A and B are shown apart, each in its own frame.
Chain A
Amino acid sequence: MGNRTTMKGTESKEKLIRLFLLATALSAISILALISVFIFTEGLPIMFRHGFKKFLFSLDWYPTEGHFGLLPMIIGSLMVTVGAMIIGVPLGLAGAIYLTQFSSKKVRMVVKPMIELLAGIPSVVYGFIGVVILVPFVRENFGGPGFSVLTASIILGIMILPTILSISIDSLMALPPAYREGSIALGATEWQTTRMVLLPAARSGIIASIILGMGRAVGETMAVIMIAGNATSLPRTILDPVRTLTSNIALEMGYASGEHRQALFATGVILFIIIMVLNTVANLTSRKMSR
């Protein structure tokens, strides 16, 4: 009898533990839901009040006078992100290809974590390096104020390089060795093998890495504030200053109140939607790969 009750005791204890673990497992998705709810309830009402069109397509951002046009910031984010891709994708992919196909395992084991270290350097440090080195360099050599789309693109490109490199390496390494061996056995060079066999086979992983890199570039805040110049006008050349969605929030959050603050949350809503779309696409492409 006594034995049976303890058996029952352990059984219900086990059930309780399972329930508890399930609760913790739901934490991430609940936090995600909580964040969406708060950002949207703070940001959507003002968008409804003034009309989505005005938020998305107006060029005037005078938040204290009730003009909440986010178009310059949307275009700003787009420009620096595209710029960052132009810098970061070739560097990241070249590194991934070199380290998986042309270098020894020893070199890869040392170089990969070193480049991943770039991801650990705080974004404020990147911003600072940008201010003291790149901004004066761009100003003296290319003209303009130095705080510009170009400067921000270069720094952001360096910041997303480790993401692209590290995920691309993983997806190239995950390919069956037979792909490479078969192609080499047919007389192809390593580069032909990489270009015609390995890169197409690892395509979805590489695309996912690029999209994740894009997400990082769109979402980066502190580095961009320090080097992009933050003007709310539309940049005409890549040497003009620019303000991104993220910097718009961070620059004005400190003192904004009332509708102005709500407009910053509306900026957050747009940013949030862009990021979620990128995340979902990256998620789906990398799932396709694992299948």
Chain B
Amino acid sequence: MSLRLSPRKEQAIVRRLLFGLTALSLFILAFIIFFILRHGLPVISWKFLTQNPIETGKEGGIFSTIIGTIVLIILALVIATPLGVGTAIFLTEYTVEGSLTRIIRFGSECLAGIPSIIFGLFGFILFVTKLKFGWSILSGSLTLAFMVLPTIIRTSEEAIKFVPQAYREVSFSLGGTKWQTVSRVVLPSALPGISTGVILSIGRSIGETAAVIFTAGSALRLPTSLFSSTRTMSVHFYILAREGISLSKAYGTAAVLIISILLINVITYYLMNRFLRKYT
């Protein structure tokens, strides 16, 4: 710097600059939420939420896409939660740090970084075509389950690590076996933390589009079995917006998406804080 400022002055300038940039980030967030809600909330009504889309979504509501989203996510979590929690238990309670844990963690971290379109390609080739599940709830939820697995592993692992060592020692000293200790002492204490991870995964799945559109398809009918194709809210929103079917229905769907995600974030934040306060 050719212009020499006193350190105090420099700090005052930098501080203002940093504050400005942070405020800008917050403003962008607030703007996105406000913009979607302002245009979307007037569209949302009881009818919008409980009526099926008519004429590919031009009229009617989004009921079948809400059901599609919920069914897909529940099934994905039923598949991913046991795998993720099992992995976390193994990593924290059943082994010591070494090359095995390093491989497991590497796998999980890499999986977390893989873009959803790759998951979509993979789910399409394996579940939809090779295993002949077709565009279906089953293909979609298996793909989603694989996607959210790393989130569940990481949060469960952290939650289990937070359970004080003394809890385990007491259980062992009373003659409890390893599994008895894990299943009756450690897991119940870590449950709130684990559920945070599960809820976070719901948030991620609600907004997922690329992986779901190629595996679950985009049928607008209410699903009748695991092998029915279904359309999630975010896929519906994407199709409404991209094909210009109905801007107002698109805003309405986006508002429902945003509200669900806001709710989920608030719940996880609350749960996480309560859990951390209990053990720290």
Report the nearest A residue to B7, measured CB to CB. Answer: A189
Residues of B within 8 A of A39 (CB): 118, 121-122
Measured CA separation A117–B25 after assembly (Å): 11
When chains A and B are docked, how far (Å) is the Cα of A279 from the Cα of B111?
9
Selected contact of A122 from candidates B33, B111, B206, CB within 8 Å: B206
> A272 touching B22 by the CB < 8 A rule?
no
Bound-state CA distance A25–B107 (Å) is: 10
- Say yes or no: B21 contacts A165, CB within 8 Å: no
- Could you say which residues of chain A place their CB within 8 Å of the CB of B120? 250, 253
The reply to whether B114 and A21 form a contact with Cβ atoms under 8 Å apart is no
Q: Give A257-281 as 1s and 0s: 1 = Cβ < 8 Å from B's Cβ atoms.
A: 0000000110010011001101110
Is B118 a contact of A271 with CB atoms below 8 Å?
yes
B187 to chain A, nearest CB (A): 12
Q: Are B25 and A102 in contact (CB under 8 A)?
A: no
B179 touches A249 (CB 8 A): no
Check if A222 sits within 8 Å of B209, measured CB to CB: yes
Q: Quick check: B116 and A25 within 8 Å, CB to CB?
A: no
Question: Shortest distance in angstroms between A228's beta carbon and chain B's nearest beta carbon?
Answer: 13
**Contacting pair B179 A13 (CB below 8 A):** yes
The smallest C-beta distance from A114 to any residue of chain B, in angstroms, reads 6
Interface bits B126-152 vs A (CB < 8 Å: 1, else 0): 100000000000000000001001100
CB-CB under 8 A for A10 and B115, given A42-B125, A95-B25: no
CB pair B210 A222 closer than 8 Å? yes
- A123 to B111, Cβ gap below 8 A? no
Instruction: Report Cα–Cα, A276/B14, bound state, in Å.
Output: 36
Residue contact A94 to B21, C-beta cutoff 8 Å: yes
> In the complex, what's the smallest C-beta–C-beta distance from A28 to chain B, in angstroms?
4
Say if the beta carbon of A190 comes within 8 Å of chain B.
yes
Q: Say yes or no: A265 contacts B121, CB within 8 Å.
A: yes
Q: Is B68 an interface residue (CB 8 A)?
A: no
Residues in A with CB closer than 8 Å to B109 are: 279, 283
A34 to B86, CA, bound (A): 20
Note all chain B residues with C-beta closer than 8 A to A250: 117, 120, 210, 213-214
Complex contact A124–B87 (CB within 8 A): no
| Residues A20 and B208 in contact, CB atoms below 8 Å apart | no
Chain B residues with CB under 8 Å of A26's CB are 104
Interface of A is mostly: helix
Residue of A nearest to B89 (CB): A21
**A29 to chain B: which residues have CB within 8 Å?**
103-104, 106-108
A111 engages B22 (CB within 8 Å) = yes
* Contacts A95-B25, A218-B115 given; does A121 touch B207 at CB 8 Å: yes
- A220 within 8 Å of B (CB atoms): yes
Cα distance A249–B116 in the bound complex, in angstroms: 11
Given known pairs A38-B126, A98-B19, A121-B32, the reply for A219 and B118 (CB within 8 Å) is yes
On whether the beta carbons of A90 and B21 are closer than 8 Å, the reply is yes
CB-CB nearest in chain B for A195 = B14
A24 engages B121 (CB within 8 Å): no
Partner-contacting stretch, out of B53-61, B166-174, B254-262 = B254-262
**Is B277 positioned at the interface, with any CB of A under 8 Å from its CB?**
no
Task: Find the B residue at minimum CB distance from A157.
Answer: B28
The contact string, 1 if C-beta is below 8 Å from chain B, for chain A 23-49, is 111111111101100110010000000
> How far in angstroms is the closest Cβ of chain B from A265?
7
Q: Is A212's CB under 8 angstroms from B113's CB? A: yes
Contact A102 B15 (CB under 8 A): yes
Give A216 Cβ to nearest chain B Cβ, in Å.
Answer: 8
Assembly CA distance A126 to B209 (angstroms): 12
Contacting residues, chain B, for A24 (C-beta < 8 A): 82-83, 86-87, 90
Question: Within residues 236 to 252 of chain A, which ones have a CB less than 8 A from any CB in chain B?
Answer: 246, 249-250
Contacts of B107 in A (CB 8 A): 28-32
Binds B, one of A68-76, A127-135, A141-149, A172-180: A127-135
A1 at the interface (CB under 8 A from B): no
The distance in angstroms between the C-alpha atoms of A124 and B265, with both chains bound, is: 18
Does A66 reach chain B (CB closer than 8 Å)? no
- Complex CA distance for A117 and B32, rounded to whole angstroms: 11
A32 contacts B110, C-beta separation under 8 Å:
yes
Contact of B87 among A28, A192, A225 (CB under 8 A): A28
Distance between A149 CB and nearest chain B CB, rounded to angstroms = 19
A42 nearest CB neighbor, chain B only: B125
In this complex, the member of B8, B121, B213 whose beta carbon has the largest number of chain A beta carbons within 10 angstroms is B121
Which of B43-51, B220-228, B235-243 lines the interface with chain A?
A: B235-243
Interface residue A50 (Cβ < 8 Å from any Cβ of B): no
- Give complex CA distance A239, B4 in Å: 38
Residue-wise interface mask of A (167-209) relative to B, using a CB-CB cutoff of 8 A (1 in contact, 0 not): 0000000000000000000001111100000000000000000
The 10 closest A-B pairs by CB, nearest first: A219-B115, A122-B207, A29-B107, A24-B86, A94-B21, A25-B90, A98-B18, A191-B11, A21-B90, A28-B108
5 CB < 8 A contacts A-B: A35-B146, A125-B237, A219-B115, A221-B115, A279-B110
A-B contact sample (10 more), CB < 8 A, given A123-B207, A246-B210, A283-B109: A18-B94, A25-B86, A25-B87, A27-B149, A28-B87, A29-B104, A39-B118, A122-B206, A129-B32, A188-B7
